[in-house]
A and B are shown apart, each in its own frame.
Chain A
Amino acid sequence: DAGVIQSPRHEVTEMGQEVTLRCKPISGHDYLFWYRQTMMRGLELLIYFNNNVPIDDSGMPEDRFSAKMPNASFSTLKIQPSEPRDSAVYFCASSFDSPYEQYFGPGTRLTVT
């Protein structure tokens, strides 16, 4: 079975540009999570969904960040406008029935210059 799929794997963009990160969870999983990882702040939960509904978005840094899950097999994380401090690795993870055992994707490394 395919794991969690994220695209792109690497993104380099200029400050002020819009960035869209994509995630396809494992088929049948009903929880989806977006995390950000940096050396300074470690691993941060940004938002998570259950059955396509956002449950907790308290980790979303500010209004520049938005996340959607239009159906069970696709989610996006958008940053508009991007800033250099948004540079990080963004992980998507999914799980079935509870957040206990989360399966992480390979991550998207975002660099904002």
Chain B
Amino acid sequence: GDSVTQMEGPVTLSEEAFLTINCTYTATGYPSLFWYVQYPGEGLQLLLKATKADDKGSNKGFEATYRKETTSFHLEKGSVQVSDSAVYFCALTLNRDDKIIFGKGTRLHILP
């Protein structure tokens, strides 16, 4: 079935380090891809999205590019801050009216 696989956490980095969280997907069609973020004690919120191949989603300094050839949507940020500490979820949906399928989440700790 359709699914998302993301790197296991936790990921621990120092402030100002470069971040990459890997995400790959399996889908029967051409999905839309998302990154959601969950800050401590809160619900999830949409961070960025891409709806077709080669699209780049970006928000708050985070970026991810939809790579159809490698079925990937890796999340990157050039210089992380302590406030980026959270759990990050990669997700997909097959069509506009269908439910979102979430990955298991990757916990990120940023040390000052």
Contact = CB atoms under 8 A, between A and B. Distances in A.
Contacts of A105: 43
A88 to B, nearest CB: 14
A42 interface: yes
A43 B105 contact: yes
A91 B87 CA distance: 15
Contacts of A25: none
Interface residues of A, number: 21
A18 interface: no
Contact of A104 (B45, B97, B104): B45
B22 to A, nearest CB: 17
Q: Most chain-A Cβ atoms within 10 A of its Cβ — which of B34, B44, B93?
A: B44
Contacts, number: 51
Contacts of B49: 100-101
A27 interface: no
B32 A100 contact: yes
B35 to A, nearest CB: 12
Task: Using C-beta atoms within 8 Å of the partner chain, give the interface range for chain B.
Answer: 10 to 19
Contacts of A99: 93, 97-100
Interface in A57-113: 91, 93, 98-107
Nearest to A45: B99
Contacts of A48: 99
Interface in A23-40: 33
Contacts of B41: 106
Given A43-B105, A48-B99, A100 B45 contact: no
Contact of A100 (B44, B89, B93): B93
A56 B43 contact: no
Interface of A: 4, 33, 42-43, 45, 48, 50, 55-56, 91, 93, 98-107
Interface of B: 32, 34, 41-46, 49, 89, 93, 96-100, 102, 104-105
19 contacts: A42-B102, A43-B105, A45-B100, A48-B99, A55-B99, A56-B99, A93-B43, A93-B44, A99-B98, A99-B99, A100-B32, A100-B46, A100-B49, A100-B93, A101-B46, A102-B44, A104-B43, A104-B45, A106-B42
